[in-house]
């Protein structure tokens, strides 16, 4: 097997429980360039594959930044840039600033969530090497796949195939690039 044309080795499983067990064992064995493909989201699969999710932190930071910038913008406009004393109210009337601050907090967080999902997941991705596997069509129906990429430092064609076969999958195949 020449590693020039091979993307990785893939194992097909019949259930989500089998995939979770296989993902945990694969990560424990030391493989790091692994990915799972499922017809529906599986709670904890990302953690079992050793993936981290930065989106919640980015959304929180963007929300805080949006709220702070909105409050500063309103404060600057009312106190520094264009102070008007209307009806004896104070220039820095924080209760009046709350609705706009809230709206820009939500706007900043929502836009960051939307765009970071696309950027961090590499979308749009019209081609992926897994599409070369004829059986992969069932990943959107009723099958679960675990792929170990050839770029993984521990990847060895023979040892990796033997390891995947110990996980008792339905099949183990090479995926062309």
Q: What's residue 4's pLDDT?
A: 79
- pLDDT, tens only, 74-95: 999 999 999 988 888 889 989 9
- Per-residue buried b or exposed e for 58-82, using 16+ beta carbons within 10 Å of the residue's own CB: bbeebbeebbeebbeebbeebeeee
Average pLDDT for 46-56: 93
Give me 91's structure tokens: 């220039």
The residues spanned by each domain of the chain are: 6-53+127-176, 55-120
pTM (predicted TM-score): 0.78
| pLDDT score recorded for residue 89 | 84
* Burial grade of 105 (CB within 10 A; 0-12, 13-18, 19 or more): buried
Q: 């091979």: which residue's tokens?
A: 6
Between residues 114 and 121, the one the model is more confident about: 114
Closest CA to 173 of 141, 138, 140, 142: 138
Regarding the domain delimited by 6-53+127-176, which CATH topology (the fold level of the hierarchy) does it fall under? Answer: Alpha-Beta Plaits (3.30.70)
The sheet carrying 6-13 orders its strands as 34-37, 144-149, 6-13, 171-176
pLDDT of residue 122: 86
Q: What percent of the chain has pLDDT over 70?
A: 98
Query: Tens digit of pLDDT for each residue in 132-151?
Result: 999 999 999 999 999 999 99
pLDDT band at 1 (very low <50, low <70, confident <90, very high): very low
Asked if residue 30 has pLDDT above 50, the reply is: yes
Residue 86: predicted pLDDT: 83
pLDDT higher than threshold 50 for residue 121: yes
The mean pLDDT value for 10-27 works out to: 97
Percent of the chain at pLDDT exceeding 90: 85
50: left (phi over 0), alpha (psi -120 to 50) or beta: left
The average pLDDT across 30-59 equals: 95
């Amino acid at each position: 097997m020449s590693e020039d044309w091979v993307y990785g080795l893939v194992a097909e499983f019949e259930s989500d429980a089998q995939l979770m067990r296989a993902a945990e064992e694969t990560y424990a064995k030391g493989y790091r360039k692994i990915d799972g493909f499922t017809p529906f989201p599986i709670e904890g699969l990302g953690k079992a594959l050793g993936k981290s999710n930065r989106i919640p932190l980015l959304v929180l930071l963007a929300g805080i930044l949006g709220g702070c910038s909105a409050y500063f913008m309103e404060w600057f406009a009312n106190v520094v840039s264009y102070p008007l004393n209307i009806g004896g109210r104070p220039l820095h009337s924080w209760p009046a600033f709350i609705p706009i601050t809230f709206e820009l907090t939500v706007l900043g967080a929502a836009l960051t969530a939307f765009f970071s999902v696309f950027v961090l997941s590499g979308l749009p991705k019209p081609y992926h090497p897994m599409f070369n596997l004829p059986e992969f069509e069932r990943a959107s129906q009723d099958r679960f796949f675990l792929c170990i990429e050839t770029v993984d430092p521990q990847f060895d064609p023979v040892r990796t195939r033997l390891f995947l076969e110990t996980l008792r999958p339905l099949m183990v195949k090479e995926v062309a690039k």
